[in-house]
Each structure stands twice: as C-alpha cells, then as structure tokens.
Amino acid sequence: MRVGIEVGGTFTDFVRIGPEGVRVVKVPSVPSSPDVGAFNALVKSGVAITEILDLAHGSTVATNAVLERKGFATALITTRGFRDVLALQRHNRTRIYDLEYQKPDPVVSRADSFEISERVLSDGTVLQPLDEQQVVEALIPALKQGGYEAVGVCLLNSYVNPAHEVALRDLIKAHLPDLHVTLSSEVTREFREYERASTVTVSAYVQPVIDRYIARFEDRLAEEGFSGRFSVMQSNGGRLPAQAIRDSAVTALLSGPAAGVMGAARQAARSGYGNLITLDIGGTSTDVCVVTDGKPELTNEFTIDGLPIRIPVVDINTVGAGGGSIVWVDDGGMLRVGPHSAGADPGPACYGRGGDKPTITDAHVIRQTIRPEAFLGGEMPIHPDASRAVFAPIAARFGMSVEQAADSAIELANANIVRAIQLISTERGKDPRDYVLVPYGGAGPLHAAQVAEDLGVGTIVVPPNAGVLSAYGLIASDFVQFESLTRRAPVDDNAGDLVREVFESMKARAVERFEHLALGGDVKLDFIADMRFVGQAFEVPVTLSEDDVRQVDRELISKMFGQAHEKIYFFGADSDKPIEFVSFRLGITAELGELPLLQEERSYRVPRGEIELFDRRRAWQGTLLSRSDLAEGETLSGPLLLEDPTSTLFVPAGWQAVTDEQQNLVLKRMA
C-alpha cells in the first residue's frame, strides 16, 4: 500500500492507494509541528502503518523555517572583501513606487559573516592559496565561539574551481565535526556570487531544521513498526529518500506546489494528455504551471521571501487570486478583485468568523456554484446570508442584482488568472491553445471552464479527488536529483567534444550519488545546455537526449539553439551570430515503474437533482450530482455541478463532461 501525506498551511491531505481502493482524508494542519498533523491524518485514515510499503511526504517545515526565521544559528564564510554580499544584494527593488521599501532580510546577519584570505580568478586559476593558518587560528575559534549549528561557504569563482571550498570544509570538519557545512559549489555551481551565496546560506540555515524534523518523523514511524520506504518531496518535482534530503534540505523548499503539478501531470498522462496547463486555486493564491510532453517546465529563478534560490524548481507562477481574494471598487469606479485576501482567518464572510469583506468564495455561494451543504464535504458550516450582505453594497453601486455582482467578481477573478497563464506562456514561448487545462485544489475545478474559454483552450481534464491531488503527486513522483555546472565556452569546432566531456563527467558524478542512495539500476538522464548569443545577458535552455549528445557537433548544437531561441523570441533560427555555452544541467531520474491508480473515492454521495445557479450574467437550470455518480462514458451537458469530498466542479453551459476509463473527467467545449 502506498501513502502520500502533504502538509499545507491550512490542511493536511492524505491519500492511500492499495488493493482496497482509494482513501482520502483531509484534516486541519498543526502549523507549529507539521508532523503532528501528518500523524493525525494517518490515524484518522485507519491505515495500519505496518502495511505501508511506500510513504511519501511533503511539508512546509523548511519553508516555514525561512519565512519565520526559525532556523538555527548559521554563519557565512566568504572570500576576503566580500562578507557583505548578502547585505548588498543586487541594489534593485521589487516594488518601484514603494517609498517604504525594505530589502529582503537575509537569514544570516553581517555579524555572522566571516572572511577568509584566498582568491580564485574567473578562469579557475588560483591567485592566492587558501590561508589555512588563518582558518585554523582565527576562523575556527570564531565559529566555535559563535555557537553555530550550520555554516554556508561561498568563495568567489568557486563555480569554476571549487578546490578552496572543499579544502575549507575539510579543515572545519577536522576541528568541528558536528557542524553542518554546506558549499555553494555543491548546492549550485553557477556564477553570480550574490545568488549563490543566498542559495547556500538558506540551504545551510534549513539543514539542521530538516535534519531534526526527519529524524523525529522516522523515530515515530519506527515506533509504530513502519518498515517501508520513506521519501520526501522536492521542489523539482521528484522525491528523494528521506536520508538524502537530510543532506540537501534546500530542495525541499516549496515542494507542495511541485507535488500538485506532478500529480496533475501523471494523472493526465494516463488519459494520453501530455501538454498541460495546471491550475491550482486555493484560498489565497493560484498556482499555474506549464507541462510539456508530460514534464513540468523547470526554472532556476526562484525566490523565497525575496531571497534568491538557484536550484532547479518546477516553474510555478503564483498570483494573488484565490477564494479569499477581496472584491472592491476603486477610485475610478471600477470593480476589482484582489490582490488583498481575507486569508483563512477571518476568511470569507460566509465562514461566519467575522469576515466583513466580499470575497470570491462568497461570490460562489451567491451564484450557488458552491453549495453550503457541500463545502469541504459538508464538514464546514457556511452562511449564505452573510455573503449576500457583503455583496449588497457593490450590487447597489453598479445597479445590479446581488447575483450579477457576484458573477462579475468571478469574471474578473478569472481575468486575473488568465493573465497569469498568458504571461507564463509568453515567457516560455508557448501558445496556451496547444494545451489542455488541468484544474485541481479546492477551487480550480470551479473556475476552469471560463478560464479555458478565454485562453482558447477546448479541453479540460479534471483528475479524481482533485482537492487532494498534491498528496497523490507525492506517491506518483519519480526519484530525481539535479546538478549544474557553469562552463562558459564558445560554440566552435570543439563544441561536440566539449558537450560529451561535460556530460560524461556530470553523469559519472550523478550516477555515483544515486547508487550511494541505493537508487541505481535503470536511470534516465536529462541533459540541458544553457546557451546564448555572445553578448546576450540571458541563456536559453537547449535539451539534449543521450542520442543528441553522442552525435552532437557544432552544426547540430547551433541548429538546436537557433530553434529554441526562435521559439521564445521569434528570431534566431537563421542567425549566424556567434553562440556560447554558459552552463549545463543534468537531471538523473529513477522512474517509479507502475503508477499507483488514482480513483474517485466512492463514499461521498448526493442525490442527483435539479439546481438553479447564476453564471455569465444570467440564471440557469442545472444538474447536481456527485462525481462518482457519473458512469464511465456517460456524457452530460452543462450546466452541471459535480461534487466530490474534496472539491466542486462546475461545468457551464456550452461544455460537455464525460468520465473516461482512467476516471478523469474530461470537459470539451461544444462548437
């Protein structure tokens, strides 16, 4: 039996898949100790821990440690002259009109930053050897005195030659064996010292947190007689054995959204859909991701609390539009939605917890696209009168009915979501019309159809138990690890040999690391060259298969780069401008083999019946039914409201719904 437990900010989601079928549980999270929420879900599910073969876990523990600055005392070591790298940052501000702007607050202060004499140049040559005497006589006593639990090391140009970082770690470990030492060249071997220093600092900072958390989790599992495999989700869309995460904690940051995308990708692939736009609408935000050929796009540009983290992560774009987004009227008399949110507390007015501002969830309640009796499987009381009361002033202002005002708010929320999708697809050079939309999360399935219409997307695929898809994503993910290497070189007649040399050395290292984790055997390799025109400031990723690597030469790589560039920027395919390699990335994957089968949980039932709802500026008669009631192959036309224990799916007029043999609900727009 396989179990996925995903601890989010508000809810802990649980999915069990085994011979007895699928079991889904949602319990409130315990923010102070995520593992308590996880074990609560286990207990509620009634699953015997001894029978779990595969337990995959995702939690916000690393993320929260950074957001709340609750990590352990951490120091940074830099090349002499550079201790202020974290304070100086990049000088720019992310909100240009904000006169009260503050820089992101680094997790290590100036007082905890140390310098050491050494210098490597940009070509890797050593200008000044590492001053070992200084390390032993000054640095190590200072580290000891400071009572640090973790140390991040970022020496200048270590991305090209990491020898000094390695030597420094060996020296520190020899004197202070209990100190966690993290090297920038091992976490992200890419140029730009601020981003690398930030990455290694955050990495070092969360290391002891994750280490302790996993140790505690494993102890509890052992007590309960667990003997299966315990793994933890990463932000790159793959998981790792829990032991390995203890050494690379930074990859566990923001793993929850990545798990959702993987769940969507895997479940949609079953029905043959490879090109997806995933749409996860939660209480305060919406996450959008582009999946091409079954694989989520990855990015290296990612920040947490404004601090850059340069590791490959699933490229998820988040916008402040969710169920709690507040509806308001601006000075120009225009109706607006968000970015302010009522959050989980007090939450929407209909929660009855003192929320007095109209929100998107209230709008659904008024439109009757959320039925109060069905909210969270009927486990949470909802107050429709409160929703109507907060929307009344807006309705009066625009001379509309309350239903029309609520419907307008939904239309605008959808416009915000459409915008997010258009921007992310433009940035990636993709046309949304070539994709199907895969909605999940509490509210994704409620908004999907209108969003799809505006994007020109004609097909929507809704996975079973869409409200807990992230938990499924945990057990549906492969084991994955990435490495990167900056190696700037011109694309000349040696290009083929250079690519092969880099590939072989990175491959050897990756395979060795994987074997060390007992993940050897059949592995898949993804190899990406980040390239650009000489002088260009941004790189374009060029993906090479193992076949490509074998036969690559100057002509082939130039052609591949030209095509990749053209796709994003509309020029470059026939350019004869000089090209260069900047860096390389290699991903190693141990595939899961057989995917666990996600199905609809059948315990939830509502009687099929007629309902009235409001959508797109008018009232409609529609059909209400529980999702598991729709037989395979049965086709129904909207308006439909389909409920399952984790979410509500709205199928508007003009769309048809049919459940396919994989239990995905496929919505098609009628011509």
d(CA 475, CA 285): 24
Q: Which is nearer to another protein, 121 or 380 (CB)?
A: 121
CB burial of residue 468 (10 Å; 0-12, 13-18, 19+): buried
Distances (CA, A) of 324 to 11, 110, 153, 305, 443: 15, 38, 41, 21, 11
Q: Looking at beta carbons only, is 248 or 325 nearer to another protein?
A: 325
Show Cβ contacts of residue 558 under 8 Å, excluding neighbours closer than 6 positions.
Answer: 491, 495, 579
Residue 264, token pair as written in the block: 């969507």
Tell me which residue of 11, 35, 468, 642 sits closest to 284, measured CA to CA: 11
Phi, psi values for residue 69, rounded to 5°: 55, 50
* Nearer residue to another protein within complex by CB, 158 or 255: 158
CA distance 276 to 439: 10
Q: Which is nearer to another protein, 550 or 577 (CB)?
A: 577
Given the structure tokens 């907060």, which residue do they identify? 390
Smallest gap from residue 155 Cβ to another protein (A):
11
Q: Least Å distance between CB 116 and another protein?
A: 14
- Minimum distance, C-beta of residue 416 to another protein, in the bound complex (Å): 7
Q: Give the nearest distance from C-beta 32 to another protein in angstroms.
A: 28
Q: Which is nearer to another protein, 91 or 379 (CB)?
A: 91
As measured in angstroms, the least distance from the Cβ of 468 to another protein is 31
| Tokens, residue 442 | 């509490």
At closest approach, how far in Å is the CB of 100 from another protein?
A: 6
Q: Cα–Cα–Cα angle for 224, 228, 232, nearest 5°?
A: 100
DSSP letters spanning 207-269: HHHHHHHHHHHHHHHHHTT--SEEEEE-TTS-EEEHHHHTT-GGGGTTHHHHHHHHHHHHHHH
Q: What is the distance between the alpha carbons of residues 404 and 448, in angstroms, rounded to a whole number?
A: 20
Question: What are the residues facing 439 on neighbouring strands?
Answer: 279
In angstroms, what is the minimal distance from the CB of 25 to another protein?
Answer: 38
Which CB sits closer to another protein, 220 or 488?
Answer: 488
Query: Could you give the residue ranges of the DSSP H alpha helices within 429-483?
Result: 444-455, 469-476
Distance CA(267)–CA(274), nearest Å, equals 10
The CB-of-668 to another protein minimum distance in angstroms stands at 21
Q: For residue 188, how many other CB atoms are within 10 A of its CB?
A: 29
Nearer to another protein, 411 or 548 (CB): 411
Taking the least distance from each CB to another protein, the nearer of 69 and 110 is 110
How many CA atoms within 13 Å lie on the side-chain side of 341? Answer: 18
How far is Cα 255 from Cα 589, in angstroms, rounded to an integer?
A: 17
The answer to whether 462 and 268 are in contact (CB under 8 A) is no
Is residue 459 within 8 Å of 668, Cβ to Cβ? Answer: yes
Q: Please give the backbone phi and psi of residue 376, each rounded to the nearest 5 degrees, phi first.
A: 50, 50
- Indicate the residue among 52 and 326 with the shorter CB distance to another protein: 326
Q: How far is the CB of 455 from another protein (least distance, A)?
A: 11
The dihedral of CA 217, 219, 222, 224: what is its sign?
negative
Minimum separation from the CB atom of position 293 to another protein (A): 22
Q: Which is nearer to another protein, 15 or 77 (CB)?
A: 77
Shortest approach of another protein to residue 344 CB, angstroms? 24
Nearer to another protein, 127 or 671 (CB): 127
Strands of 493-639 (E only): list them.
523-533, 540-544, 579-590, 609-615, 618-626, 635-637
In this structure, the number of other CB atoms found within 10 A of the CB of residue 335 comes to 17
- 622 residue type, one letter: G
Which lies closer to another protein via its Cβ, residue 28 or residue 456? 456
595: DSSP letter? P
- Residue nearer to another protein on the CB measure, 249 or 321: 321
Cβ proximity to another protein: between 17 and 413 the closer is: 413
Residues 6+ apart with CB under 8 A from 504: none
Give the residue with the Cβ less far from another protein, 46 or 333: 333
Output the smallest distance, CB 202 to another protein, in A: 18
Which two three-digit tokens encode residue 100? Answer: 């009260």
Contacts to another protein by CB under 8 A: 81-85, 87-93, 95-103, 109-111, 121-122, 127, 156-157, 159, 191-195, 330-336, 398-400, 404, 408, 411-412, 415-416, 419, 422-423, 426-427, 488, 533, 535-538, 568-571, 577
Note the maximum CA span of the chain: 82
Instruction: Tell me the closest approach of the beta carbon of residue 258 to another protein, in angstroms.
Output: 23
Q: Where are the beta strands (DSSP E) in 29-118?
A: 54-58, 74-79, 113-116
Whether the CB-CB separation of 196 and 218 falls below 8 Å is answered with no
Residue 544: how many CB atoms within 10 A of its CB? 20
- If the CB atoms of residues 273 and 561 are measured against another protein, the closer one turns out to be 561
Closest CB 571 distance from another protein, rounded Å: 5
**Distance from C-alpha of 434 to C-alpha of 423, rounded to nearest angstrom:** 15
Q: Measured from the CB of residue 353, what is the shortest distance to another protein in angstroms?
A: 28
Q: Tokens in use for 349?
A: 């007015």
Minimum CB separation of residue 569 from another protein in Å reads 4
Hey, CA dihedral for 124, 308, 168, 243, is it positive or negative? negative
